Amino acid sequence: MMRGKGGRSHRFTESPVLQLALPAWRSRMVALLLLSAFGVLVGRAFYLQVVNNDFLQEKGESRYRRDLEISASRGKITDRNGDVLAISTPMKSIWAIPADARLSAEQSQQLTKVLGIDSRELTRRLASDKGFVYLQRQVAPEVADRVAALKLPGIYQNKEYRRYYPTGDMAAHMVGFTGVDDKGLEGVELAFEKSLVGHVGSRSVIRDRRGQIVEDVGSIRPPQDGKDIRLSLDSKIQYLAYSYLKQAVAEHKAKAGGAVVIDAKSGEILALTNWPSYNPNNREHLSGGQLRNRAVTDTFEPGSTLKPFTAALALESGKFRFDTIINCAPGRLTIGKATISDAHPHGALTVAEVIQKSSNVGSAKMAATFSPQEMWEMFDAVGFGQTAQLGFPGEVPGRLRPWKSWRPIEQATMSYGHGISVSLMQLARSYTVFARDGELIPLSLTRLEDGPVTGVPVFSPQTAREIRAMLEMAAGPGGTAPKAQVPGYRVAGKTGTAHKLEGGLYANKYVSSFVGFAPVSDPRLIVAVMLDEPSGAKYFGGDVASPTFSAIVGASLRTLGVPPDAPRMNVVQAAQAELPKEKL
């Protein structure tokens, strides 16, 4: 009951407010809104569960399903005979899902002890908000088995591979190495990365609420192993070159050295070695000097090893003949304000004797008969100022300045290898024009299966044969490199001794080199040797580099079974000369 004005009482149900009628459109609108909202919910549910259920499916599967990588093996690297130079060995990686890895203090202690890692580092990694973290890479299988025996929640392991190099430091600069992710970082490993690298596969698994794998759902993508690479390198010749180079660096107290052996028939690189070297299986304490592939990445002034090219240009032009006389007296030549001189003064020399005696004056006088452009074009034609296009990491083109900037004194010094810089690999390749009747051939890091290669003609066969004879004279009695001779084989080559440039000035330091080939009757091997800063009693190329050439080329020819081409009497005499006097 309620009372109105005047004390008159009314029933609650008779209230005038309740008797007011709402507009009909308002109730319809409310009903329509409710129906619309319900329709939107139904439509959204239909869209998510029927039309586009990927999102919910993904969220659901993330609770129990995971895709795991299946490692692929990197391709092997072998020498030309199939001997392994680099191979991948099976290892394990230990990883974790931080959200699932709820380890007790005792479990953490056990894990750190087995893996040999710091407990604070383990805690930091397991506290990560990432869905996946590595605890340790490239773990030995027996260590991984000990981790698995702990049965720790959220801790897993995958198969991966670690690179192993059976030849160690012997072929380190040629083969290179990979990083922890099995990607090439140096040498052939980097140069042929696209071929060597495998493609990982993956598989789907179902795991329970503890994170343990309970079922394999299936393979999504099978792994693809990398391709094997067969190099042109011969392990036996590589060992010989490495051993003799290391011995020479130690004997002459040199800062460093390099040696290259090329097959003159095919252009295949049979050996490439440097000292100092390193063990690619253990790189914990490496310096930049050890890693440098000096034969490819370092340049130097080649000195007198370039004189044969000046002589070849002279013969090719027809201005000079093999026996043309050049007056080299008094052993000095002034050009402008500068004077060049010979190490030992000479008088009248033939072109052949200019090379045999290594006369700077004779070489400069031949060069003076040509324009700078003619000399530049010849140097360019034999590959100077450009890379050998091996694809080797860090390969350099050397330095060959444009001919328009040459001064007369610079043209003279370039004729005997100063004012121009080359790599040891470039120098070795350039001598193919003399070993192959005037052809410059491409070099190859991999073994060729197509037989003999053809090159680009640079000089005529007659010019190449005449220079070959001059180089044989230079490596014989009366030449600058008699120590390059090999018992039983005719050898040809040229010494080089050049001051080093430091700060734009020539220092009292030397680069000593020798490049040549054998046997002269049918050249098979081209060998180039370089010693950087020999600091012993001797530093001339004929004293420090040519004996190393002799040792490498002689042992390599015998290894390959190349028949001797020198008279047998020479073999006997040479053998007797090597015996101790008391045995004669």
Q: What's the whole-model pTM score?
A: 0.81
What pLDDT score does 102 carry? 80
pLDDT at 576 over 50: no
Q: What is the pLDDT of residue 574?
A: 43
Active-site residues: which are they? 304
User: Domain end: 231, 246, 262, which one?
Assistant: 231
Mind listing the pLDDT tens digit for each residue in 268-318? Answer: 999 999 999 999 998 877 777 889 999 999 999 999 999 999 999 999 999
**CATH number, residue 178:** 3.90.1310.10
Q: What is the mean pLDDT of residues 391-405?
A: 92
Based on the domain organization, do 242 and 227 belong to the same domain? no
What does the pLDDT read at residue 569?
47
Three-point CA angle 102, 108, 110, nearest 5°: 135
Of 461, 459, 424, nearest in space to 443 by CA: 424
CA separation, residue 130 to residues 95, 99, 276, 338 (Å): 12, 8, 43, 70
Q: Tell me: the pLDDT tens digits for 244-279?
A: 999 999 999 999 999 999 999 999 999 999 999 999
Q: Within this chain, do residues 331 and 211 fall inside the same structural domain, yes or no? A: no
Residues 291, 183: one domain? no
Asked if residues 115 and 139 have their Cβ atoms less than 8 Å apart, the reply is yes
For the chain, the average pLDDT equals 87
Cα(183)–Cα(199) distance, integer angstroms = 12
In angstroms, the CA 272 to CA 296 distance is 9
What does the alpha-carbon distance between residue 451 and residue 447 come to, in Å, rounded to a whole number?
A: 10
Identify whether residues 227 and 244 lie together within a single domain. Answer: no
Give the pLDDT of residue 504: 77
pLDDT digits (tens, 9 = 90+) for 168-185: 999 999 999 998 888 899
- Range(s) of the domain holding residue 490: 235-280+287-583
Q: Of 65 and 394, which is predicted with more confidence?
A: 394
- For 24-82, the pLDDT digits (tens) are 777 778 778 888 888 888 877 777 677 666 666 666 555 556 666 666 789 999 999 99
From residue 416, give the alpha-carbon distance in Å to each of 122, 266, 339: 64, 29, 14
> Which residues lie closer than 8 Å to 366 by C-beta, 6 or more apart?
310, 311, 313, 314, 320, 326, 351, 354, 415
Same domain, 174 and 260: no
Kindly state whether residue 50 falls inside one of the protein's structural domains. Answer: no
Residue 250 identity: A
Instruction: Identify whether residues 224 and 242 lie together within a single domain.
Output: no
Q: Are residues 312 and 369 in the same domain?
A: yes
Statement to judge: residues 515 and 406 lie in one domain: yes
184: left (phi over 0), alpha (psi -120 to 50) or beta: beta
Does 213 share its domain with 274?
Answer: no
CATH label of the domain that carries residue 503: 3.40.710.10
Confidence label for 136 from pLDDT (cuts 50, 70 and 90): confident
Claim to verify: residue 176 and residue 242 sit in the same structural domain: no
Q: How far apart are CA 39 and CA 260, in angstroms?
A: 81
Instruction: Find out whether 230 and 78 touch, Cβ atoms under 8 Å.
Output: yes
What is the rounded distance in angstroms from the CA atom of residue 303 to the CA atom of residue 3? 128
Please check whether residues 200 and 262 belong to one and the same domain.
Answer: no
Given a cut of 60, whether residue 365 has pLDDT beyond it is: yes
Q: Are both 569 and 474 inside the same structural domain?
A: yes
